Amino acid sequence: MKSTTELAGRQGRIQVYAWTPEEPTCVILLAHGYGEHAGRYEHVAGRLVEEGAAVYAPDHYAHGASEGERASFDSLDDMADDLAAVGYGAAEAYPGLPIVLLGHSMGGIVVTLLAQRDPSKWAGLILSGPAIGGNPDLLGLLALDPIPEVPIDPAILSRDLSVGEAYAADELVYHGPFYRSSLQALSDAIDAIAAGPDLGPLPTLWMHGSEDELIPLEPARGAIDALVCSDLESHVYEGARHEIFNETNQDEVLDRVAAFLARIGATKG
């Protein structure tokens, strides 16, 4: 079952999507990436519901159907606060169920910030092309004045070109240049993650495309290594681009998520 609700976020009204099975075995809090919206993850949520997960996904502030000027923000901590509030609501709806964090790209920063606050609170962390290591070329735009208009090229998202075409046609996706405040917020959050603390024994699944141009593999790998997870499972998909949940091998990626959830006891497996 799919439903939508609203909550009063740190900086404005937040729209929240929920996909729920009849008898869930866990809750997943899903954080989408920069400029997009949670509705693009309906197929991901559908597969996770089949595994027994109740999936909750807000449109971040300044994204999708939530309030705020599209893609203009100054804090990812506020986004983490909003996701935590969604989690409180889910915990009330399903008391006692394990809660897993899942974040893609910028959403990977959001869930990592939240996990670092109290790793023991979560049953697991799933990171898809996480931006926690940044992109030197992208963040280097902060040194320029004015910042040149370099919007995200839809062609770099997936080897399935229809993904980029749908992205370009999606009216809820932001297609403009980067705001300085948003780039600074991303940079500040990446620095905060690097400063620690580590995630200790929190089970973590990291997945990345080898040909990810938006969030390059090696900076992400360095950031993951610095988190010093004692329970880290990593998978690099050869040839895959940035949106591995929308890649030509997306079934393989979703199978991996399902296996991880079963391994950590979040689903019946």
Pick from 186, 198, 57, 62: which is nearest to 130 by CA? 186
Neighbours of 231 (CB within 10 A): 15
- For 114, 194, 265, the CA distances from 124, given in Å and listed in that order, are 12, 20, 10
Cα angle: 161, vertex 167, 171; to 5 degrees? 155
Distant-in-sequence, close-in-space partners of 233: CB < 8 Å, separation ≥ 6: 203, 204, 205, 206, 260
The reply to whether 234 belongs to the active site is no
Single out the catalytic residue among 66, 105, 158, 182: 105
> Which element (helix H / strand E) includes 57?
strand 53-58
Cα angle: 267, vertex 64, 152; to 5 degrees? 95
Amino acid occupying residue 162 = S
Single out the catalytic residue among 32, 60, 63, 242: 242
Neighbours of 152 (CB within 10 A): 24
The reply to whether 242 belongs to the active site is yes
The reply to whether 235 belongs to the active site is no
DSSP of 151-207: ---GGGS-SSHHHHHHHHH-TTS--SPPPHHHHHHHHHHHHHHHT----TT--EEEE
The dihedral through the CA atoms of 153, 182, 31, 214 has a sign that is positive
Burial of 207-227, coded b for 16+ CB within 10 Å and e otherwise, reads bbbebbbbbbbebbeebbeeb
Residue 124 CA from chain centroid, whole number: 14
The set of catalytic residues is 105, 212, 242
